[in-house]
Chain A
């Protein structure tokens, strides 16, 4: 069933390639049908999923038997929420993209290919397969930015491609280092986690760690590897930004939690303070730069740098606590918070990019925060949803972002008290930034230039309301999601200890 979920979008995409150019309704239908079908199967899978049952729905088939490479996928409490996030955001993005007119066929094909790649990254349990899925996500994203993006799209697209390719190739070397030091040689990620092939080889382990670090840190992106992000996010088409911020960034943090932490715990502990400092710089820098933006999309983009900094702080804290039994509880808390923040950031920032798109794509055609004012009177539904999303992003209790940040700070404080204390100030800047933005766009005197703007239409409501509902639901009742994550993190922390 897991393979069906992963490859259904690709099958739809290939089908779209062979439909005639004029048949737009069929293409859209197939795109929505396959991504929705994938999501529905995923709901079944989640119902059947047993919390605390370890790796489930595992499928393993021989593939490149000469090198011991298998087709090996499965889900646990870490990957299932991210797979669900991917499927959900993909469906909503397809709905949002309903009005794409330029080169629709290619757009939908690339989008569905991207979805398969992302789902595969989170499900893969074999390094070779993981790498292939990881790289597959690059190509469609390049095209989505380069063809359907904003004015500086070509620059942004090639910058994104070059940056992330540097990272992935460094990861390839790290994977090969792991492979040649394991006995018997294997690409099986579960076996490598158990074997700890580089445990007694500090130099090689450090090389492998930095190889993975480059790949993941560029993807997250951590300060100072973040410079591709504002360009790519701002130039990408709305649905592309949603996927980029909502899912692709999570591939980096997922890699840290799935690979760096359990496979190279000793090295990660040694470098954890450095990683935490970089995370802290990302938090403060992201928040301050976002505060200075007048372009709404850029503002949301930099707020991602800030939020991914929280995630990395939690991961680094957990890594630093490796091997210290009295800090294990704090580590588990920080890690729970980090994974929860991945999901929360995906939902919240995905929603924020859609919100920017609603205003920019079909209404105002400008993103200048200062050019609006008093929109709250004109667009009540839009104002309501934007307010929920921004409040969730700044961490208001009762919404999703708060739960995540709370756990991260509580956990990290037990491990990096000073760093965490500084990191908390980031929340103040974030709050200031979003509240000020809300004020400038929705409050104050009505700007007559926008007097005729219509409120959100059905298509936009369908793509945004589910996200807003999830923010509230998981903000008030995070238990089911937290239980699922916690079970997986408990396994990880004990395995690492």
Chain B
């Protein structure tokens, strides 16, 4: 490879390099900015991440290709996940300024979020097993720290250590799976693996697949690798829970799609049925366990498990024009809606000091705008139109029917009905139950902006999804090349 090639390759990495620079800059700024004014670090980090939208947006019309000796993809699929990572990071930093402003090490928090965003982008773009493993571990490490960020809070410590133990085991199993794949294919490049696995014995492929699914399943909170989710979300700072529930879930799906859909031939290894069954089980378990929850973060954790199951429908029904775009649209819509729900939880958590759903009583009077947005988020998560998650559900259900998986679609709608009950529980608390005090709630401006953007995204994708469909279609189209 000559220098000109390397230079061209580096141009394709501008978003990642830019974010690394922003992270380092924020780290330096944290050294000089005195205590009590650390919000400036957050503003710096947030605007830096936001500016990464420019190079990412300019990459949308690019031809799909790989750089750095075929290890790193520059395609619509990766760009789509870069967008999700940027949206999630910017909004989470905005929402966290109030909550984290009361903590020590506030500056490091923003820096860690920026570095995690780089890792998320790398996870979605890696086309080489080694780089993939590094990206996953990198995201995991920063996530462990973020989950245990509240040093003085035993629950947060527990969340950090639990996440670490579960994560380390899942990674170990997954790497064992990677080693099988390498052994069978003799290469770590995903494109070549796809070709060379054609001759591999099926039982070995099943074993490799099962081992790898443990790692991917951990990242996306798929049953039976979901047990960490409620404990970690409950203990971690609420903004971190928000970030994990959308950012690392989305990146986990990206890896799952690249590795499983991209390299395993469903005619030889029937992973379609496997994923379909896992999807049905994940949805059902998540929803049933969400029903009795009284803590909003645990409820959202179980609901995020249920949504992972729903998104898996898109993986199982990957054939045709609906599965992959459906997965991408669902993830983007879910990003806005789930973040919004967590932001309201952040607001209540910091201002009222509680995460219990009954304590949301009378929120409609005390914070009418936030309550209205929360109601929209809850209805969106249920799948009531015209909202973003409804459209995602519509798309993956369409994919299921298009792929002849009618039974899975039926499981999906039954689960949507179950989920209505616990989502409406939040609405009921906010709108029907009487307020213990009528004092209006103080709503910090940054959090309001984050909430507004999340609400706008939720409604915009629901009312006019055309541009998102176009983007998701081109992203999914490039994947198949």
Could you list which residues of chain A lie within 8 angstroms of chain B, going by C-beta atoms?
Answer: 63-67, 106, 131-132, 135-136, 138-139, 142-143, 146-147, 153-154, 158, 161-162, 165-166, 169-170, 172-173, 176-177, 179-180, 207
- A169 to chain B: which residues have CB within 8 Å? 383, 413, 416-417
Q: Among B410, B416, B424, B465, point to the contact of A161 (Cβ < 8 A).
A: B424
Assuming the contacts A146-B432, A161-B424, A207-B406, asked whether A177 and B385 have C-beta atoms less than 8 A apart, the reply is: no
Interface code B106-131, partner A: CB below 8 Å = 1, 0 otherwise? 00000000000000000000000000
Is there an interface contact between B417 and A146, defined as CB atoms closer than 8 Å? no
Q: What is the predominant secondary structure among interface residues of chain B facing chain A? A: helix
In the complex, besides A64-B465, A177-B401, 9 extra interface pairs with C-beta distance below 8 angstroms are A64-B466, A106-B364, A146-B431, A153-B432, A158-B428, A169-B416, A173-B406, A180-B398, A207-B406
| Contact in complex: A147, B432 (CB < 8 Å) | yes
- Complex interface: chain B residues within 8 A of A65 (CB): 466
Known: A135-B385, A207-B406. A179 touches B398 (CB 8 A): yes
- Contact A176:B397 (CB < 8 A) given known A67-B469, A169-B416: yes
Taking CB atoms and an 8 Å cut-off, the chain B residues in 383-430 that contact chain A are 383-386, 390, 394, 397-398, 401-402, 406, 409-410, 413, 416-417, 420-421, 424, 428
Contact with A along B419-447 (1 / 0, CB 8 A): 01100100010011000000000000000
Task: Report the minimum CB–CB distance from B419 to chain A (whole Å).
Answer: 10
Give the 4 A-B residue pairs with the shortest CB-CB distance, closest first. A169-B413, A66-B469, A132-B385, A176-B401
B49 partner residues in chain A, CB cutoff 8 A: none
Question: Which A residues touch B416, using CB under 8 A?
Answer: 165, 169
**Contact, CB under 8 Å: A139 / B413:** no
Hey, which chain A residues are within 8 Å of B402, CB to CB?
180
Which of chain A's residues has its CB closest to B320's CB? A180
Query: Bound complex: CA of A131 vs CA of B420, how far in Å?
Result: 17
Residues of B within 8 A of A146 (CB): 428, 431-432
Binding site for A on B (CB under 8 A): 364, 379, 382-386, 390, 394, 397-398, 401-402, 406, 409-410, 413, 416-417, 420-421, 424, 428, 431-432, 464-466, 469-470, 473
CB atoms of B428 and A166 under 8 A apart: no
Q: List 27 A-B contacts (CB under 8 A).
A: A63-B464, A64-B465, A64-B469, A66-B466, A66-B473, A67-B469, A131-B385, A132-B385, A135-B384, A139-B384, A146-B428, A154-B428, A154-B432, A158-B424, A158-B428, A161-B420, A162-B417, A165-B382, A165-B416, A165-B417, A166-B417, A170-B413, A173-B401, A173-B409, A176-B398, A180-B398, A180-B401
Residue of B nearest to A67 (CB): B469
What chain A residues lie within 8 Å of B384 (beta carbons)? 135, 138-139
CB distance from A167 to the nearest CB of B (A): 10
Shortest Cβ distance from B376 into A: residue:
A139
Contacts of A135 in B (CB 8 A): 384-385, 390
- Within the complex, what minimum Cβ distance (angstroms) separates B358 from chain A? 13
How many Å lie between the Cα of A153 and that of B433 in the bound state? 12
Which residues on the B side are within 8 Å of A138 (C-beta)? 384
Residue from B385, B410, B421 within 8 A of A136 (CB atoms) = B385
Inter-chain contacts of B386 with A (CB < 8 A): 132, 136
What is the distance, in angstroms, from B7's C-beta to the closest C-beta of chain A? 37
Chain B residue contacts of A170, Cβ below 8 A:
413
**Closest residue of chain B to A177, judged by CB?**
B401
Contact between chains at A162 and B420 (CB < 8 Å): yes
| Shortest Cβ gap from A106 to chain B (Å) | 8
Distance of A64 Cα from B413 Cα, bound (Å): 23
**Residue on B with the closest CB to A143?**
B431
Q: Which single residue of chain A is at the shortest CB-CB distance from B468?
A: A66
B3 nearest CB across to chain A (Å): 42
Inter-subunit contact B413/A173 (CB<8 Å):
yes
Q: How far is the CA of A136 from the CA of B384 in the complex (A)?
A: 8
Task: Report Cα–Cα, A162/B413, bound state, in Å.
Answer: 12
Roughly how many angstroms separate A138 CA and B382 CA in the complex, as a whole number? Answer: 13
State in angstroms the CA–CA spacing of A172 and B394 once bound together.
8
Q: What's the Cα separation between A177 and B394 when bound, in Å? A: 12
Which of A66, A158, A172, A207 is the one whose CB lies under 8 Å from B397?
A172
A158 CA / B470 CA spacing, docked (Å): 37
User: B382 to chain A: which residues have CB within 8 Å?
Assistant: 165
In the complex, chain A residues whose CB is within 8 Å of the CB of B410: 173
- Closest B residue, CB atoms, query A146: B432
Chain B residues, Cβ within 8 Å of A106: 364
Could you say which of B385, B406, B413, B421 contacts A158, with CB atoms under 8 Å apart? B421
Q: How far is the CB of A126 from chain B (nearest CB, A)?
A: 13
Once A132-B385, A154-B432 are accepted as A-B contacts, the answer to whether A142 and B424 lie under 8 Å apart by CB is yes
B401 CB contacts on chain A under 8 angstroms: 173, 176-177, 180
Minimum Cβ distance to chain B for residue A109 (Å):
10
Q: Which residues of B lie under 8 Å from residue A67 when comparing CB positions? A: 469
Which B residues lie within 8 Å of A207 (CB)?
406
Hey, which chain A residues are within 8 Å of B406, CB to CB? 173, 207
Out of B364, B397, B420, B465, name the residue touching A165 (CB < 8 Å): B420
Q: Is the CB of A173 within 8 A of B420?
A: no
Alpha-carbon distance between A177 and B413 when the two chains are bound, in angstroms: 14
Query: When chains A and B are docked, how far (Å) is the Cα of A392 from the Cα of B292?
Result: 48
Known: A64-B466, A65-B466, A169-B417. A147 touches B431 (CB 8 A): yes
Chain A residues near B390 (CB-CB < 8 A): 135
CB distance from B17 to the nearest CB of A (A): 34
| Chain A residues in 8 Å Cβ range of B469 | 64, 66-67
Q: How far is the CB of A288 from the nearest CB of chain B, in Å? A: 31
- Cβ–Cβ < 8 Å partners of A143 in chain B: 431
- Nearest residue, chain A, Cβ from B415: A169
Q: Report B254 CB to chain A, min CB distance, Å.
A: 22
- Bound together, the chains give a CA A66 to CA B391 distance in angstroms of 13
Using Cβ atoms and an 8 Å threshold, which residues of chain B touch A180? 398, 401-402
Which of A66, A147, A177 has the most CB atoms of chain B within a 10 A radius of its CB? Answer: A66
Cα–Cα distance between A106 and B420 once the two chains are bound (Å): 22
Contacts of A132 in B (CB 8 A): 385-386
CB distance from B119 to the nearest CB of A (A): 32
- Chain A nearest CB from B471 CB (Å) reads 10
Across the interface, name the chain A residue whose C-beta is closest to B419.
A165
Cα A490 to Cα B413 in complex, Å, equals 37
Residues of B contacting A166 in the complex (Cβ-Cβ under 8 angstroms): 413, 417
Instruction: Please give, as numbers and ranges, the residues of chain B lying within 8 Å of A172 by CB-CB distance.
Output: 394, 397, 413
Distance, CA A139 to CA B385, complexed state (A): 10
| Shortest beta-carbon distance from B314 to chain A in Å | 14
**Residue numbers in A under 8 Å from B431 (CB-CB):** 143, 146-147
8 Å CB contact of A173 from B379, B397, B417, B473: B397
Q: Which residues of B contact A161 (CB under 8 A)?
A: 420, 424
Contacts of B385 in A (CB 8 A): 131-132, 135-136
CB distance from A418 to the nearest CB of B (A): 36
B279 to chain A, nearest CB (A): 16
User: Cα distance A66–B386 when bound, in Å?
Assistant: 17
Measured in the bound complex, the distance between the Cα atoms of B402 and A132 in whole Å is 21
CA distance A162 to B398 in the complex (A): 22
Q: How far is the CA of A365 from the CA of B432 in the complex (A)?
A: 22
A166 to B382, CA, bound (A): 12
Please report the C-alpha to C-alpha distance between residue A434 and residue B397 in the assembled complex, in whole angstroms: 47
B459 to chain A, nearest CB (A): 12
Could you say which residues of chain B place their CB within 8 Å of the CB of A165? 382, 416-417, 420
Shortest distance between the CB of A57 and any CB in chain B (Å): 23
Cα–Cα, bound, A143→B378 (Å): 14
Q: How far is the CA of A207 from the CA of B466 in the complex (A)?
A: 30
A458 CB, nearest partner CB in chain B, Å? 33
- Residues of A near B409 (CB, < 8 A) are 173, 176
User: Which residues on A sit within 8 Å (CB–CB) of B417?
Assistant: 162, 165-166, 169
Q: How far is the CA of A132 from the CA of B424 in the complex (A)?
A: 19
CB distance from B208 to the nearest CB of A (A): 34
* C-alpha spacing A146/B401, complex, angstroms: 35
Q: Give the CA-CA distance A162 to B410 in the complex, in Å.
A: 16
Q: How far is the CA of A337 from the CA of B409 in the complex (A)?
A: 37
Given contacts A172-B397, A176-B398, A162 and B466 within 8 Å (CB-CB): no
Which A-chain residue is minimally distant from B394 (CB atoms)? A172
